[in-house]
Structure 1
Amino acid sequence: MDAVEAMKESIGVSVYEQLEIRFILYIGFGIAVIICNLICLLVFNSSRDFRRKFMLYSFVSFAELINGVSFLSAGLGRMQLLTGGGYNQPITSSDCIFTFPWPTLLLISGTLPACANLSLSLERLFAVRYASTYRGWSNSHKLILIIASVAVCLILYGLAVMSSLLWPSVSPTRICAVMNSAGPYFGTVHYFLICKAYVIGFLMVVYVYRFAGSHKKLTSSERRTQRTSLVLLGLCVILVAIPNYVLILDNWKIPKFPELLVGIAYCLYACQSMSTLTVFLLFRPEFRERLLGFLCPFRKEGRIESSDHVRTVLHSTIERQTRPALAIHTTQIIAKHHQNDPNRRPSAHHRHNETY
């Protein structure tokens, strides 16, 4: 009897087939997430202006890229265990973290995108609510948000490792998910914090959108920025909350879901990681134009300008055109005033002529 038949007999044919489909989905979605976020990173870093403008979005795409790597690693590693006969063997939580690569990637890819999106929401809040303070911001301020997000992510990962060492648990299989690697209690807190981070970020963006709409007249560029953040965080809340709550309920068996259903629900998280590309293609014409320029190198790239830039250019053009006429008109007024002024002293040239 080969390893596959032995595994089917051990866990059941139905469970084996569901796990096989689940891991194939992870591999496929992982590759798709990696490709989508590589495209975003390519466009965001295509010029100095784009790098400055989309610095935090680049960080979000990098975090989502790690999520794609975690999907791919988990799918390939678990599929190898499933087909090789080593899947249905007990393992401790600490052995999960220190033996296989995907538990670490799953822990980091859960918290890092959440922290990145929360940083993006904070930046939007400062940009609109505290505009005078935000005018003094530079790339170093955004870099501080990025460093803080990475630090929080690493601290939570360290707590997960400590939890697996101090309160070890034994899993009947080597699936080594977050709950199996960090323990059920920390795993529950992990998923709960991720959901809360996205919800808080979304509420901040909603507040910013309502505040900006009622207190100032938004330009088309500012309106696109607000809508991009609003739609992006809204999708995150929906596509992250559903799989996280399914994983929590499945771990505590209230109720226990089929393996395939858990896999499909978790793939919504991968869909969220691909949403950045979709949202930017729909709401940011400058992103769309730059991407089309990459796909069609012989195509002449259109010039997408914000209304602020157009207003500045028009003002400069009008000023440049009216300046000569205004100068001539001013000179004529001064000359006429001098001619009509009875108290005006004659110039040196006139006095010289009068002498002779």
Structure 2
Amino acid sequence: MAQRIASLDNQTSGLGVGETPAMANLVSSYGTTLFMCILYTTLGSLSIITNIIHLSVYASTCEFRRKYLFFIALEIGELINAISYVLTGMGRGTELLEGSMQDPITVHQCFYTKYWPHALILGTELPAVCMIIISTERIFAVLKPGAYKRVFTGHRKFLLLMLVPLFGTVSVSIGGLSALGSERDRLIPTRHCAIINSTAKWYSTFHFLFGVTAYTMSFASTTMVWSMRKKYSSSRFGSEDKLSVVMAISASSILLVALPAIVMICIRWDVASFNDVQVALTYACPGFLSIANTIISFKFRKELRHQLLLLLGLKKQAAIIKVFSASMKTTQITRHS
């Protein structure tokens, strides 16, 4: 251990004033880390507001709760992701302002003494699991409509949703066990305590690849719906504008989720170097995507937009009933993000 600390001292002796030592291939300085903390805290706060608005609309009527059950779970997952941004920004900001950001820390200490690595794990993986469930429902509805009616009943939907917290619990537990393994005493030069430096290499790699896989699956299932819609002129899969928007969002989601995954995996595997600003901007992409999805959802889903206006006291109940009745004539297998 003493040799490792001495090695770190040698690495940091040539740094300029105000610079922090590299975390793997993450190049840090006081200014860039401060930018990261401000961005995460601001973005997380905005995302929390949009997620709460979206959840309030979903939960406002019994019909909405039934129709958008899986999407409610997805919004809760994205709300947790938004909270993880705030926790990470506050945690790293505290370390920075207290002057302890440059103090070396082990993988074990990062996972078990800091409060944001677990939130970062759950914030990415819970929405990803929801995406997989929604995509599976969509595939069943297109390819196996008979099985879809049997499997995706109200009661069984709740059972499927139990997989989300179960998966999160198991994943965080495995991440914790990986921090107890051979890498537990690996020294990290700074106290960013990102996922890649709070868990074993294999676990952090799985974590980022899992999120990309979930969104790729969503795009594939949406493409399947689009293909079936083109095949049959009298489509029963929803309006053209909704499906087009879903296609565009699904495709862009893959890119926006893949960007932070590529950056973090490259850092962990010593492939490339990135500074805090680059990491912050790429890692913020899923947060920006969550906010954008909320705006687009209200833009292209009339029933949600009208229900929001009703909750704000700007619309009459009769108009909402009319819009919702028209919406119920289509199936609910396309997603808003």
> TM range, normalised to the smaller chain?
0.7 to 0.9
Q: Separation in 1 of the partners of 2:227 and 2:325?
A: 21
**Structure 2 regions of 5+ residues with no counterpart?**
1-15, 22-26, 331-337
Deviations 1:159-179 (A, max 9, x none): 211111012222111110000
Give the CA deviation at 1:219: 4.5
How far, CA to CA, are the matches of 1:138 and 1:222 in structure 2?
A: 23
Q: Does 2:33 align with 1:19?
A: yes
Q: RMSD of the TM alignment (CA)?
A: 2.5
Identify if the C-alpha distance between structure 1 residues 273 and 309 changes in structure 2 by more than 3 Å, giving closer, same or farther: closer
Cα pair distance change 1:252/1:146, threshold 3 Å? same
Would you say the 8 A contact 1:103–1:181 is kept in 2? yes
1:138 is matched with which residue?
A: 153
Q: Which residue of 2 aligns with 1:253?
A: 270
Structure 1: state its 5+ residue gaps.
1-6, 312-356
Measured in 2, the distance between the counterparts of 1:308 and 1:32 equals 29
The answer to whether the 8 Å contact 1:90/1:174 transfers is yes
Higher relative contact order (CA 8 A, sep 6+): 2
Is 1:292 the counterpart of 2:292? The answer is no
Question: What does the per-residue CA deviation read over 1:14-66, in whole Å, with 9 as the maximum and x for residues that have no partner?
Answer: 81111111110000001011111111110000000000000000001000000
Deviates more, 1:45-54 or 1:13-22: 13-22
- Is the 8 Å Cα contact of residues 66 and 109 (structure 1) preserved in structure 2? yes
Decide which of 210, 213, 238 is 1:193's aligned counterpart: 210
Work out the number of aligned pairs and report it.
304
Report the counterpart of residue 348 of structure 1 in structure 2: none
Spell out, residue by residue over 1:182-218, the C-alpha distance to the aligned partner (whole angstroms, 9 max, x if none): 1233212211122112112211221122124314622
- Contact 1:34–1:69 (CA<8 Å) still a contact in 2? yes
Residues 65 and 278 of structure 1: CA distance in aligned 2, closer, same or farther (over 3 Å):
same
Aligned residue runs from structure 1 range 1-356, under 5 A:
9=18, 11=20, 15-136=29-150, 137-167=152-182, 168=184, 169-215=186-232, 217-219=234-236, 221=238, 223=240, 226-227=243-244, 229-295=246-312, 297-301=313-317, 302=319, 303-305=322-324
User: Going by fraction, where is helix more abundant, 1 or 2?
Assistant: 1
Separation (CA, whole Å) in 1 of partners of 2:297 and 2:53: 11
The CA distance in 1 between the partners of 2:53 and 2:327, in whole Å, is 28
Give yes or no for contact 2:28–2:275 (8 Å, CA) kept in 1: no
TM-score (norm 1): 0.79
Deviation string 1:254-285 (CA, Å, 9 cap, x unpaired) is 22012211111111121122233123112211
Q: 1:309 to 1:140 in 2, by over 3 A?
A: closer
Q: Percent identity?
A: 27
Name 1:345's counterpart in structure 2.
none
Q: Secondary structure at the match of 1:11?
A: strand
| 8 Å Cα contact 1:44/1:50 also seen in 2 | yes
Aligned twin of 2:334: none
Contact 2:84 2:116 in 1 (8 A): yes
Contact 1:221 / 1:306 at 8 angstroms: preserved in 2? Answer: no
Amino acid of the residue matched to residue 223 of structure 2? Answer: V
- Whole-Å Cα distance in 1 between the matches of residues 193 and 145 of structure 2? 46
Q: Which has the larger radius of gyration?
A: 1
Q: How many angstroms does 1:71 deviate by?
A: 0.2
Task: Report SS of the residue matched to 1:135.
Answer: helix
